[in-house]
Chains A and B, each alone.
Chain A
Amino acid sequence: MNFFDWQFAREILPRLLDASLTTIGIALAGFAIAVVLGLFLAIGRRSRLRWLSWPITGLIEFIRSTPLLIQVYFLFYVFPNYGLNLSAMQAGIIGIALHYACYTAEVYRAGLDAVPRSQWEAVTALNMKPWTAYRDVILPQALRPVLPALGNYLISILKDTPVLSAITVVEIMQRAKNIGSESFRYLEPITMVGLFFLILSLGLAWCVRRLENRMELAR
């Protein structure tokens, strides 16, 4: 059993980098949707209209309480039986986005709850519409403290993309497994994938910290 084969690593690097683009694409698209959708879920859950808040609460709890793997299986293998045909990539992005939207919704909820009630009284006294109030007054105050938590979910999403190999998405982990089964060498591809996630996660964490600092200075 020899140690790390640098020659082999160099050979498989282009194939892994190619698949890494899929991983990054899924993570960014999934996060972008989750961040926006989660906000609407959070606002809907806080609504005083029960026909709105109850179904949303139910949806959030349901999705948070079942594994992502099962959800993407349903999207890709079960739903086509009922006429909903999604490509593996579409099913993967939707699955991740929906799953994490429910987590980010809870993050937003915490942020929204932390905005003092007196701010709502001020916007009422100024006769502002709820939409304007959220956009200009409440959200800017609610978002700043939850940025670190949102950043964590970006990193979680990135690290959860290998789940999608179960529905035939060829992201970086799936590519590494394929290389392994072709060459019977797993050490190099899996190590490289691990390093890829490590470097990218650290990079993202750094970006999030920079964003936090900028938001802080913007006061």
Chain B
Amino acid sequence: MNTPMQSTDTLNPTPQQPEQAQPLVRFAGVTKRYGELTVLDGLDLQIEEGEKVAIIGPSGSGKSTLLRVLMTLEGIDEGVIEVDGEPLTHMPDASGQLVPANARHLRRVRGKVGMVFQSFNLFPHMNALQNVMEAPVQVLGLSKREARERAEELLAMVGLEDKLEHFPAQLSGGQQQRVAIARALAMRPKVMLFDEVTSALDPELCGEVLNVIRRLGEAHNLTMLMVTHQMGFAREFADRVCFFHQGRIHEQGSPDELFNNPREERTREFLSAVNEAH
């Protein structure tokens, strides 16, 4: 599902063409355990720049953990995660051996990743504008004026130009989630993670959030990784759908392949269970 912006990007041959073959995000043998429970089980996954990947699967299959370890909200037990060619939770020491990353390295690589949460996680004591301005000022070192311009632009993009001074408690769930998207975008991440961003919303409010994500996908060559229960949206929006089961990618393919012709028994079971529920 190529968008106009994307195709101009890919049609313009640049000298670094061979380097673009490198995936923007790479999971190699990533394992995450909680005590006895293995949540990610030797996971391998590569995501190309500009790719929109939807992750579906039963609850407890590890799909949210996948996003959480990429955002460094959780550590990993084995394997390597690379973002933009650099290891995320590790860094090379003087002899080139990978050692656990220090705070500085972690912050530098983590800056390429942004995340939107199921429960919005806005700062309740700041209004919409302040929520979006806070990190660009404090982390990126933008001036108040620059940050304000950027925030106003983004809040206008998510359709909240008239709610700048509203506090989260004065906004609907859908509006809060749109502020949260603007807040994450203000950091100019290379890859955006969406963790069940409509699951906490009333059905009639889902649409406004999904519309924002849809527009975002059309207007920017932003890499997006989303965990979702909205099969319709995944089918229409994603370039690739991954079915997650027991800490691994059980099956993946284009939306058409995965939804219309799933090869695996477990995928078929899951899809029919989801269809029955709707």
A interface residues with partner B (beta carbon < 8 Å): 118-119, 121-122, 124-129, 132, 136-137, 140-141, 218-219
> Are A141 and B138 neighbours in the complex by a CB distance under 8 Å?
no
Q: Does chain A have a CB within 8 A of B145? A: no
Please list 14 pairs of residues, one from A and one from B, whose beta carbons are closer than 8 Å in the complex, sorted by A's number. A118-B119, A119-B121, A121-B117, A124-B72, A125-B117, A126-B183, A126-B184, A127-B110, A127-B111, A128-B135, A128-B138, A129-B139, A219-B125, A219-B167
Which of B71, B122, B169 touches A124 (beta carbons < 8 Å)?
B71
A87 to chain B, nearest CB (A): 42
Q: Mark B45-82, 1 if CB is under 8 A from A, else 0.
A: 00000000000000000000000000111000000000
Q: Does chain A have a CB within 8 A of B238? A: no
Contacts A141-B125, A219-B167 hold; do A125 and B114 have CB atoms under 8 A apart?
A: yes
Q: Does chain A have a CB within 8 A of B258? A: no
Please indicate the chain B residues that have their CB under 8 angstroms from the CB of A119 in the complex. 121, 123
Contacts A118-B119, A140-B125, A141-B125 hold; do A125 and B184 have CB atoms under 8 A apart?
A: yes
Q: 8 new A-B pairs (CB below 8 Å) besides A128-B139, A141-B123?
A: A119-B123, A125-B113, A125-B115, A125-B184, A126-B135, A132-B139, A136-B138, A141-B125
> Are A126 and B117 neighbours in the complex by a CB distance under 8 Å?
no
B179 to chain A, nearest CB (A): 12
Please indicate the chain B residues that have their CB under 8 angstroms from the CB of A126 in the complex. 134-135, 139, 183-184, 187
Give the number of residue pairs across the A-B interface with Cβ within 8 Å: 59
Docked CA distance A132–B135 (Å): 9
Please indicate the chain B residues that have their CB under 8 angstroms from the CB of A219 in the complex. 124-125, 167, 169
Which of B71, B124, B167 touches A125 (beta carbons < 8 Å)?
B71
Please indicate the chain A residues that have their CB under 8 angstroms from the CB of B144 in the complex. none
Q: Does chain A have a CB within 8 A of B215? A: no
A195 to chain B, nearest CB (A): 40
Please indicate the chain A residues that have their CB under 8 angstroms from the CB of B111 in the complex. 127
> Are A141 and B187 neighbours in the complex by a CB distance under 8 Å?
no
